[in-house]
Structure 1
Amino acid sequence: MLGLLWRAVFLLLLLVAPVAARAEGRLVDFEIASRRFDGNQAGVTAIRKAIAYLPDGYEAGRRRYPVVYFLPNLFDDQRAIFDRDGAKAVLDRAIAEGTVPPLILVSADFSTPAGSSFYATSPVTGDWTGFLAQDLVAAVDGRFRTLPRPDSRGLLGDRMGGYGAIRTAMLAPGVFGAVYALHPVGTGVGLQTMNSRPNFERLAAAKSLDDLGDDGFSRVFLGMYQAFLPHPGKPPFHVDFPASGRGASLATDPVLTARLQNAFLLDRLLPAHASELKALRGLMFDWGRFDGNADHVVANRAFAGLLEELGVANEAEEYRGWWGERHWTQGGRVETRALPFFGRALAYEEK
């Protein structure tokens, strides 16, 4: 009888122990007040929201950690990967299983009223490059136990955030040490002209953002124009449009279109900033082969080739995937590709 009792207790402990031993990190919401948005004409608030994932054991010791800064996709805020996609569980599991050493992950809100800042600096929407590379990094280093040096900072971005990660590494050198871009957009021209996407007739007639309704393309491209074709003092949106009309009546302004391409597309920026990317400890990006917008596939293939032409070491991968899939899932690309990459590319020890 006593033997049966001990056997039952032992089995109960086996069932309870894994739950009790499960390591979990903690999420901390915080805000950053930035002067980078003083005088902006798009209605961007100077108080930016952010959230930090702190690994299990953070509170118990004095250890310092590397930081990966996550840059969200269009229309996502700082909490989307946690509230919608389950990023905390992915990070908990990856650290517990040794996929990546313990690290801090920070996600901030980079949205504007039109949808996205495009991670650019503009007199209309503010200095987003400075906010990310200086204000946010300084706030995180001041608030948390980080390893405050470039080789312990990574940039991870999803789609438009992937674009922002590569762009920031080019334009703010010496701040981040490694970049992983998930399915980046804006790496180069595709099969369709950019001017064929927005509804310029609706944009020209609109008096406010409300007039664009649920026209997603027009909203996205308005944000792009505010970032790269700003015209302060030209209401209501303070931009120049690179075309007018629509369909067969589309009339393109070649000067403004070239200005937009040269300011926005990463392949146009790369020749002048290849040395900044060469200085990284690691650069990796990927894209889904079955993206419904073939422009992204064509542009990313060409961008990978251009990096090689300019001698920029990189890992580029085309996988069996599509545009809308979520990457913060069990066995998803963050867990299987991005986190192991940062495990290799970042420095985890104090000097």
Structure 2
Amino acid sequence: MKKRQILGATALLAMALNAVSTLAQSAKGQIIDRQVISMNFAGNRIGVSPVRKMVIYLPPGYLTSTHRYPVIYFLPNPFEENYRFDFDHRDAQGLFDLAIAEGVIKDFILVAVDMNTPLGTSWYVNSPVTGNWEDLMIQELIPYIDANFKTFPNRDSRGIAGIFIGGYGAIRLGMRHPDVFGSVYAMHPVGTGTGVGVSMTIPKWDILTNAKSMDDVKQDGGTRIFTTMFQAHLPDPAKPPLFVDLPGRQENGKLIIDVKLMDRFRNNFYLETMIPQYANNLKSLRGFKFDWTRNDANYDHVYANQAFTRKLNEFGVAHGAEEYTGPFDESNWGADGRIYTEVLPFFARYLVFDIDPQIHHQ
């Protein structure tokens, strides 16, 4: 071949590659908003709305495609502004588009749902005080998505992920419902187990015992979040205004722990206490991983996650556990963030993207 022909062929190849690259970069997914009116909040005592909103990411070409897609259910950090925060402020849609275009993961659907109460997180459990959040997810939201979108309606093509308290929810829902979710990734989960300090020294007991309304607990962050824990795990619909059984009290400046209530709280709340009951469920997952940063200002979270992976090992639960150095939350997003480099590749490996799944375990 003559030199001029070689140069011409090279130029044509370069143009073709550039065209493919441009097409991939221009292929954009779509985000849409939906809502369901849930039957699971009729009896709640704290004013939770039955209208539960969600944002849904659809991959490029979804509207014209005849294909079906796997679904990732995503539980955002509930301390953010709202469930849409990552889409509105961190360009989650652009990141997912890039991941698909670059082959990090095949086409997928992602669903992020508002799972918060007026005080903050629901902890994703059924409670006579806050409503039945677990039932909302399993009995209403997932059937709604499968009925209205082109999904593979089976656990092998359905994963769940979450950040921080959302990570807690991802593990909890995954361990309790392995028939619904086949793969679980939790980013920096909290509530995995006991920390270094005594947890009940965090809330301000004078605020809890003297509260005249739920607004009173909002004046202190630790007290507020522990109120959500108690409403989820020590609910008492007959005790306004907080509707909880308090597992502690202050007497002459000393913290007094109610042993029975504390035992009930620990057994209902900490994920480590649930391992013996749900170890076989966890073993049946196609993939299970969680991570945490050692730079967390609250070392209790680091200590608890280290202990959690050790206890999983004791029960023979195969899983991935990674402690990394670096900031948390904001750095999860972007092409260098852990969602792009860790979470999406994880689901690329463990979700089933075709009609005839070949089940393989981690």
Please indicate the TM-score interval, normalised by the length of the shorter structure: over 0.9
The one of 53, 57, 61 equivalent to 1:49 is 53
Corresponding residue SS for 2:72: strand
The whole-number CA distance in structure 2 between the counterparts of 1:310 and 1:12 is 56
2:165–2:189 contact (8 Å) kept in structure 1 = yes
Could you tell me how far apart the structure 1 residues matched to 2:185 and 2:252 are? 37
> Deviation string for 1:29-68 (max 9, x for gaps)?
0001111112111211111000100000101111000000
How many angstroms does 1:90 deviate by?
1.1
Aligned to 1:184: 189
Question: 1:7 — aligned with what?
Answer: none
Equivalent in the alignment of 1:315:
320
3-state SS of 2:137 partner: helix
CA shift digits 1:231-279 (9 cap, x unpaired): 1121101101111128942222122111111100000011100111111
Q: Which residue of 1 aligns with 2:8?
A: none
Instruction: Out of 18-27 and 30-39, give the one that drifted further.
Output: 18-27
Residue number in structure 2 paired with 1:139: 144
Q: Does 1:331 align with 2:336?
A: yes
Corresponding position: 1:100 with 2:108: no
Q: What is the CA distance between 1:320 and its match in structure 2? A: 0.5
Q: Residue in 2 aligned with 1:28?
A: 32
Q: Residue 124 of structure 1: CA displacement?
A: 0.7
Deviation, structure 1 residue 332: 0.5
CA drift of 1:170 comes to 1.8
**AA in 1 matched with 2:73:** Y
The separation in 2 between residues aligned to 1:213 and 1:235, in whole angstroms, is 16
In 2, the alpha carbon distance for the partners of 1:164 and 1:324 equals 16
Partner residue, 2:270: 265
What residue in structure 2 maps to residue 120 of structure 1? 125
Asked if 1:230 is matched to 2:235, the reply is yes
Residue by residue, what CA displacement relative to the aligned partner does 1:157-185 show, whole Å, maximum 9, x if unpaired? 10101000110112223001000000000
Hey, what does 1:59 align to over in structure 2?
Answer: 63
> Which of 71, 74, 80 is 2:78 aligned to?
74
Any conservation in 2 of the 1:181–1:286 contact (CA below 8 Å)?
yes
> Structure 1 regions of 5+ residues with no counterpart?
1-9
For residue 175 of structure 1, the aligned residue among 180, 193, 201 is 180
1:39 aligned residue = 43
- Alignment of 1:285 onto 2:317: no
1:72-111 per-position Cα deviation (integer Å, ceiling 9, x unaligned) = 2223332111112221111011010000111000000000
SS across alignment from 1:168:
helix
Equivalent of residue 306 in structure 2, options 285, 298, 301: 301
Cα distance in 2 for residues equivalent to 1:195 and 1:78: 29
Worse overlay, 227-236 or 124-133: 124-133
SS at match of 1:226: helix
Q: Which amino acid aligns with 1:74?
A: P
Secondary structure of the equivalent of 1:276? helix
Please point out which of 152, 161, 164 is paired with 1:159: 164
Compared with structure 1, are the counterparts of its residues 94 and 113 closer, same or farther at alpha carbon in structure 2 (3 Å cutoff)? same
Offset of 1:14 from its aligned partner?
A: 10
* Contact kept in structure 2, 1:72 and 1:110, CA below 8 Å: no
What is the deviation of 1:330? 2.2
SS of equivalent to 1:36: coil
Q: How many corresponding residue pairs?
A: 342
Q: Which amino acid aligns with 2:79?
A: F
Q: Judging changes above 3 Å, is the alpha-carbon distance between structure 1 residues 101 and 237 closer, same or farther for their aligned structure 2 residues?
A: same
Q: What is the CA-CA distance between 1:327 and the residue it aligns to?
A: 1.2
What is the SS of the residue equivalent to 2:121?
coil
1:178 and 1:342 in contact (8 A); partners too: yes
Distance 2:340 2:217 in 1: 37
**Pair 103,246 (structure 1): closer, same or farther in 2 beyond 3 Å:** farther
Equivalent residue, structure 2, for 1:109? 114
Q: 1:6 aligns to what?
A: none
Return the alpha-carbon distance in structure 2 between the equivalents of residues 62 and 251 of structure 1: 62
1:324 to 1:249, Cα distance in 2 relative to 1, 3 A? farther
Q: Is this contact kept in 1: 2:214–2:241, CA < 8 A?
A: no
Identity of aligned residues (%): 46
Q: Deviations over 1:182-215 (max 9, x none)?
A: 0000110010111011111112222123223441
